[in-house]
Amino acid sequence: MPQLNVDNVSDKINEYQTIASAANQMMHDFMVRLPYFMVALSVLLLFWLLSILFKKLVTKLLSKTHTHRNLIRVFQRIGGALIIFVGLMVAMVIAIPGFTPAKLVGALGIGSVAIGFAFKDIFQNLLSGILLLLSEPFRIGDQIVSGEYEGTVEDIKVRATTIRTYDGRQVVIPNSQLYTSALTVNTAYKRRRLELTIGIGYENDINEAKAEILKALKQSETVSKLAEPSVVATEFAGSSIDLKVRWYIDDGTQANKVASIHEVIVQIKSNLDAAGINIPFPIRTLDFSDASAKALANHIFNLQSQAEPSAANAQSQSQPELQAKSNQAPPQ
């Protein structure tokens, strides 16, 4: 029994010695590689500073040209990413024994198919972002419409574009959607045409109404003086003759659009009221010339005629009862 305890203690001591030896070896290896780690970290920091310097240099050289401002972002982001990637490769070669870029390429080659399927959408958005930055269909500050989203472009990144809607929400749209789908840029041109439909009564003169509307447009300050407005009769509507009013504004932003529409509506309403021109409510005409309509009207009339004597009889019967109750009431 004592011999067994001695063997157990000996085994435990050997186990602890093995663990301590492995820990000492790891610490020794770490201390040996520590200078390499410090050099690798310094190299990575140096390349990071080089990427910042590269971005500032690109901004300084290309900021004078206003034709392709997004080109600056392309060079900054792609060039900066490449510099950091090269620095990371150099740092890994210094810090990790036996590491070479060829081994990394081989490892990536083994799983390239899986990586391609997993990151297909990401790569598609990256490529679309680069093409958008190069082709510049819109810029930061433009107001665009993409699908059900409309707002002002705040940032164009390589993967996605951020817009701010008119009610203050932030929407992130993948670049592949912007590149492959239809896109409306409301501020691509400085001048923008607006339109609205106004209905006048059938009894009013169209030429007189047109003259009053054109007069109202000339009195509106937000209407551009560089392009002539137009008023065209477009439709015999259910209760009015519809006139299509078109005019231009010099600044096509959403705020100016809303302000101009408001001013034009107020001015047109004031001029048409002063001229006695009616803007009718929706009107519906009922035609009772059909035989079935006449039969329905006679039936309704008969029902009303039968209801009136019944109501009169009920009222005459209620009067004696009320009189009797008043006679039975005790004197005060």
Does residue 163 sit within a domain?
Answer: yes
Cα 217 from Cα 230, distance rounded (Å): 9
Please tell me the predicted confidence (pLDDT) of residue 332. Answer: 46
Q: What residue numbers bound the domain in which 270 lies?
A: 192-274
Window from 72-76, 109-113, 212-216, 262-266 with minimum mean pLDDT: 109-113
CATH code assigned at 200: 3.30.70.100
The torsion angles phi and psi of 207, rounded to 5 degrees, stand at: -65, -40
Q: Are residues 161 and 97 in the same domain?
A: no
Q: Which of 85-89, 222-226, 317-321 has the highest mean pLDDT?
A: 222-226
Q: For residue 301, tell me if it sits in a domain.
A: no
Q: What is the mean pLDDT of residues 173-193?
A: 91
Last residue of a domain, one of 274, 306, 327: 274
Residues 101 and 156 in one domain: no
Whether residue 96 is found in the same domain as residue 172: no
Shared domain for 269 and 197, answered yes or no, is yes
162 and 212 in a single domain? The answer is no
Q: Is the pLDDT of residue 325 over 70?
A: no
Q: Last residue of a domain, which of 142, 161, 185? A: 185
Domain membership of residue 305 (yes or no) is no
**What's the structural domain count of the chain?**
3
Q: Residue 322: its pLDDT value, please?
A: 45
- Same domain for 6 and 103: yes
Give the CATH number of the domain where residue 160 resides. Answer: 2.30.30.60
Q: Please tell me whether residues 52 and 100 are part of one structural domain.
A: yes
Average confidence (pLDDT) over 144-162: 90
> Is the backbone of residue 311 left (phi > 0), alpha (psi -120 to 50) or beta?
alpha
Least-confidence region, from 14-23, 215-224, 238-247: 14-23
| pLDDT of the residue at 9 | 66
Q: What angle do CA 78, 57, 174 make, to 5 degrees?
A: 30
Q: Which of 78-82, 110-114, 128-132, 224-228 has the lowest mean pLDDT?
A: 110-114
Given a cut of 80, is residue 206 above it in pLDDT?
yes
Please indicate, yes or no, whether residues 179 and 196 belong to a single structural domain of this protein: no
* Angle of helix 2-62 versus helix 70-95 axis, rounded to 10: 150
The answer to whether position 316 is within a domain reads no
pTM: 0.60
Regarding whether 87 and 30 lie in a shared domain, the answer is yes
Task: Give residues with Cβ within 8 angstroms of 313, minimum separation 6.
Answer: none
Q: pLDDT confidence of 183, banded at 50, 70, 90?
A: very high
Residue 117 lies in a domain: no
Residue keyed to tokens 């929407």: 171
The tens digit of pLDDT for each residue in 19-71 reads: 777 777 777 766 777 787 888 888 889 988 988 888 888 777 776 665 566 66
> Is residue 222's pLDDT more than 90?
yes
Whether the CB-CB separation of 47 and 94 falls below 8 Å is answered with no
Give the C-alpha separation, 141 to 187, whole Å.
Answer: 9
Residues 52 and 88 in one domain: yes
**Can you tell me the distance from the alpha carbon of 160 to that of 154, in angstroms, rounded to the nearest whole number?**
11
Question: Do 78 and 127 contact (CB within 8 A), yes or no?
Answer: no
The Cα–Cα gap between 12 and 31 comes to: 28
Do the Cβ atoms of 184 and 219 come closer than 8 Å? no
Note whether 209 and 263 are same-domain residues. Answer: yes
The token pair at 35 is 């200078």
Q: Could you tell me if residue 48 is inside a domain?
A: yes
Task: Establish if 47 belongs to a structural domain.
Answer: yes
What percent of the chain stands above pLDDT 70? 76
Q: Which amino acid is at 166?
A: Y
Would you mind telling me the total number of residues written for the chain in this entry? 332
Q: Are 59 and 99 found together in one domain?
A: yes
pLDDT above 90: percentage of residues in the chain: 34
At 159 the pLDDT is 83
Q: Is the residue at 312 inside a domain? A: no
Which residue, 163, 185, 207, sits at the end of a domain?
Answer: 185
For residues 296-312, give the mean pLDDT: 73
